[in-house]
Homo-oligomer: A and B are copies of this chain.
Amino acid sequence: MMGGDYAPLEAVKGIRLHLEQKEKPAHLVLIGDEAQLKPLLEEQQINSDTYTIVHASQVIDMHEHPTKALKEKQQSSIAIGFHLLASGKVDAFISAGNTGAMMVGSLCTIKAIEGVQRPTIGAYLPRENGKMGWLVDVGINADCKPENLLQFGILGSLFVKYVWNVDSPRVALLNIGEEEGKGNLLVQAAYPLLKENDKIEFVGNVEGRDVFLDKADVIVCEGFTGNVILKLAESIYDIAKRRNIKDEYFDKFHFEQYGGVPVLGVSKPVIIGHGISEGPAFNNMILMAEKMIESDLMEKIKASFAAS
């Protein structure tokens, strides 16, 4: 509840939106400063049967060093969240707080699923036809081996399949040419791995010009290029807004609205939100967590990697 620039009010608003919308919502465990949370929950008229507050006396600030802060602030909402998740007291953990601390907690407290070399986070790729694509990795793994790209493809494919209900998601490799054999050494080596793997529906290379076209459901790249694309796309929204361009497609480049992204490849559902998340974003994150649990995504990933 304490994560993000507008915490805890926007998180509370997100809960209200969620409860209004869902007939049988999940029971919410709200981690944060009880003295701050209680009046806000009452003010927003949220039925106290729907949640349990777990008091956290500390907060990890957005600019604190992730590893250090997580180690030293054991009573922070993020540290407590990971503790509850690891011990099975909650089924998913959502936060719009310090992204680095969320990643460190995911990797060190929750840990990778056996067989997953590098857990990863992705980004939404809005398309003009209303569909959504998934770009993975977007910055956690700046240096990758070919096998990592293959695994990003498998993880992205399972996520899109079970959380977005896309049958046989198309997986593409981001490259600088269409033909096999193009690109740098990394993608040249990754191409045959993707092509030969029977867990994914590989559709070949896509280029920069294809990123926003509906050519693939999952686009795989190392985290350096992915991060540059994500931030460049966000800047297109800023430019359009600054220039007073009103267009519903460019509005979709406002990535905060989508809520958050899962850390794929760790053994429990963790969702990281943007620092400037508002009510609807928190609602979307809760919906995503529910979907990840209901679809048993973690077990699907475990089964997929156990078989390899």
CB within 8 Å of B: which residues of A?
A: 128, 139, 142-143, 174, 176, 183-185, 187, 207-213, 222-225, 227-236, 238-239, 242-243, 245, 247, 249-250
On whether the beta carbons of B208 and A227 are closer than 8 Å, the reply is yes
Known pairs A212-B239, A229-B229; list 12 more (Cβ under 8 Å): A128-B239, A142-B184, A176-B228, A184-B223, A208-B230, A208-B234, A209-B238, A212-B232, A228-B229, A229-B232, A236-B236, A243-B249
Asked if residues B227 and A176 are in contact (CB atoms below 8 Å), the reply is yes
Residue pairs across A and B with Cβ atoms less than 8 A apart, 15 shown, are A128-B243, A142-B176, A142-B183, A142-B185, A143-B184, A176-B224, A176-B227, A184-B223, A207-B231, A208-B227, A211-B235, A212-B232, A213-B235, A228-B229, A245-B245
Contact A208 B224 (CB under 8 A): no
Q: How far is the CA of A142 from the CA of B175 in the complex (A)?
A: 10
Q: Which applies to chain A's interface (DSSP): helix, strand, loop or mixed?
A: helix
Docked pose: A245 CA to B248 CA in angstroms: 11
A242, B213: Cα distance in complex, Å: 12
CB distance from A101 to the nearest CB of B (A): 16
Q: Is the Cβ of A228 less than 8 Å from the Cβ of B208?
A: yes
Please, which residues of chain B bring their CB within 8 A of the CB of A142? 176, 183-185
Indicate how many identical chains form the complex.
Answer: 2
B232 touches A211 (CB 8 A): yes
| B224 adjacent to A183 (CB under 8 Å) | yes
Which residues of chain B have C-beta atoms less than 8 A from A213's C-beta? 235
Partner of A176 from the list B139, B185, B233, B236 (CB cut-off 8 Å) is: B139
Q: Which residue of B lies closest to A222 (CB)?
A: B184
Identify which of B174, B185, B230, B247 contacts A243 (C-beta below 8 A): B247
Q: Which residues of B contact A210 (CB under 8 A)?
A: 235
- A247–B227 CA distance with the chains assembled, in angstroms: 27
**Of the residues B176, B207, B228, B236, contact of A207 by C-beta under 8 Å:** B228
> A233: which B residues are within 8 A, CB to CB?
208
Does B249 lie within 8 Å of A234, measured CB to CB?
no
